[in-house]
Amino acid sequence: MRRPAACATVRTWQVAGAAISFTLVAALPAAPARAAADPVTACTALDICYCVHQEFKETIGANVARVRKLIADQRAQGKAIGYLSVPLSAAGGGAFVVNTAIAARIAERVTERFGPRSVFVLNPGAEGGDGMQGASGADYMYMWTQILEGENGLGEAFDFVYFSGPSDFAKYFELTGTHDFERLEAWFDDKIAPDPKYKEAIANGSLTRAGFRNYYGLRASVAFSYGSHDEWNIARMINDRRRGATDYGIANQLAVVFDGQPVSPGGYETPTAAGDVGRCVK
Contacts of the segment 193-201: beta carbons below 8 A, 24+ positions apart:
197/97, 198/95, 201/90, 201/95
pLDDT of residue 207: 97
Task: Identify the band that residue 206 occupies on the pLDDT scale cut at 50, 70 and 90.
Answer: very high
Q: Give the span between the Cα atoms of 251 and 47, in whole angstroms.
A: 26
- Confidence label for 282 from pLDDT (cuts 50, 70 and 90): confident
Answer positive or negative: Cα dihedral of 86, 91, 92, 97: positive
Percent of the chain with pLDDT over 90: 84
If you average pLDDT over every residue of the chain, what do you get?
Answer: 89
Is the Cβ–Cβ distance between 231 and 148 less than 8 Å? yes
> What is the spatial distance between Cα 187 and Cα 209, in angstroms, rounded to a whole number?
10
CA dihedral 41, 42, 46, 48 (to 10 degrees): -50
Instruction: Inform me whether the pLDDT recorded for 8 exceeds 90.
Output: no
pTM: 0.86
Locate all alpha helices (DSSP H) within the chain, ordered by sequence: 57-76, 96-114, 137-149, 166-173, 180-187, 199-203, 209-214, 226-243, 265-268
Spatial separation of the C-alpha atoms in residues 251 and 249, rounded to whole Å: 6
First-to-final CA distance of the chain: 21
Instruction: Please give the single-letter amino acid code of residue 125.
Output: G
Alpha-carbon distance of 171 to 178, in angstroms, equals 13
- Which of 24, 2, 1 shows the shortest CA–CA distance to 229? 24
Flag whether pLDDT at 17 surpasses 90: no
